[in-house]
Amino acid sequence: MIVGGADFGVIELNQWALERLGGQRSIAIVPGATHLFPEPGALEAVIELAAGWFKKHLVTEGDQPAKANRNSEQ
């Protein structure tokens, strides 16, 4: 989950939800950002965080699609 550091109320909701999720999970807070990340640089921070998550969890060594994805392409 990604949430703005100044998005009070939403931070707490995300923390509540995070505690109830199973499996690997985390929350990233973009300092100073509010709801929908309109502050300069905030949306770019969200993009970087999300891209990092996708690279970590969906891309295998050598930038090959995950094994499950290769099978679905055949």
Cβ–Cβ < 8 Å for 67, 52: no
**Model confidence at 65, in pLDDT bands (50, 70, 90)?**
low
Task: Outline where DSSP puts E strands in the chain.
Answer: 2-4, 28-30, 59-60, 64-65
**Model confidence at 59, in pLDDT bands (50, 70, 90)?**
confident
Measured CA to CA, the distance from residue 1 to residue 17 in angstroms comes to: 9
Full-model pTM: 0.74
pLDDT digits (tens, 9 = 90+) for 27-44: 999 999 999 999 999 999
pLDDT reported for residue 68: 54
